[in-house]
Structure 1
């Protein structure tokens, strides 16, 4: 008695397509959420010194799959970060890194330091809270939705 199996090549191709489609959709959504985190952190960031808002960036900027030296797809990480080497126009010779950590950790609502005049003006023009912990608060807000969005992508496949 023999067993005949058919359709295994078609199933294999379907699984490969599913894997590729899922990775592409998830990667696209991760980039979208990283840019949303960046934009929200910029709205939360104080505006008294330099160009702190513009120093909040996403890396890598490239939104395609990465390959290693052998041409294989490589693991990709997306990072929202503060460019600590960016210059401060109002203070020649100074960089964002000279004050960004202190502002992030010690400015209200994360610490005892109070907002400056320009940050207060920025706060009056928006509903988001300007002040310390700007990057962390943005990440926490986006993270609440991220799992749901990714789960929805996987359900739709």
Structure 2
């Protein structure tokens, strides 16, 4: 996924991320997340192997092994969730990089920028108070007929 987005082999990208982190901070972030993904992927494999070892064909776990089995299954689920979250983070970084490189912004962005520009340029004239209406206070309404302290 990273190789495809940057159009270079991963080994070259690793050296670029370490040598010139300021030039492409998104690459540095993607490579940092990738290294964490490798660790969590290895943890998934270890937990899977442990579970397969405890629940192999023809084996019935002993009663005292049930807690260890449950703990291993929970650790496997956590490692899988971490791996999935890291994959999504890399995908979000790649999406952000592609969005930043688009020469022609989407129409919605251009419209929003134009609206901001217009609102900055437009003179602001305060609306005169209407007769017979009291100005509204910023806080809650207070009864003003009683004594003040």
Alignment TM-score > 0.5, same fold: no
Relative contact order (C-alpha < 8 Å, sep 6+): which is higher? 1
Q: Which has the larger radius of gyration?
A: 2
Larger helix fraction of residues: 2
**Structure having the larger proportion of residues in strand:** 1
